[in-house]
């Protein structure tokens, strides 16, 4: 039960950071940012749907460009993340619980 609570808190934190960046005045001044969602489950899943709905709404308001991949296997996650990074996506949102090593590996390949 405690693990589920921690996972839920981690997902909420990821969403909060993403929304903070979306609503940041510096981002608005800089123009539309490209956001990609990478999800290991369908976007209809309870927690993922909240993030997906919010990012889709931000896209409809013209605040972001949003693309996503769903049902991405853990073994494919790194490749999908790398492809979005190579396409110039500014912010990648998704589950990194258990995939932190892959996320750090992709980050190390990107020259910021």
Contact assessment for residue 33 and residue 91, using Cβ atoms and an 8 Å cutoff = yes
Give domain limits for the chain: 2-109
What CATH architecture applies to the domain 2-109?
3-Layer(aba) Sandwich (3.40)
Q: What are 84-111's pLDDT values in tens digits?
A: 999 999 999 987 677 888 888 888 887 6
pLDDT digits (tens, 9 = 90+) for 19-52: 554 554 554 556 789 999 999 999 999 989 999 9
Q: Which two tokens stand for residue 51?
A: 């993030």
End-to-end CA distance of the chain: 38
* Rg, the chain, Cα only: 14
| Spatial separation of the C-alpha atoms in residues 10 and 16, rounded to whole Å | 10
């Amino acid at each position: 039960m405690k693990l589920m609570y921690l996972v839920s808190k981690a997902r909420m934190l990821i969403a909060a950071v993403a929304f903070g960046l979306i609503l940041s005045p510096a981002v608005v001044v800089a123009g539309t940012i490209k956001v990609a969602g990478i999800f290991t489950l369908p976007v209809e899943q309870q927690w993922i749907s909240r993030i997906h709905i919010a990012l889709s709404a931000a896209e409809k308001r013209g605040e972001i460009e949003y693309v996503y991949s769903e049902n991405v296997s853990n073994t494919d996650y790194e490749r999908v993340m790398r492809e979005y990074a190579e396409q110039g996506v500014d912010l990648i949102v998704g589950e990194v619980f258990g995939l932190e090593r892959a996320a750090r590996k992709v980050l190390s390949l990107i020259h910021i």
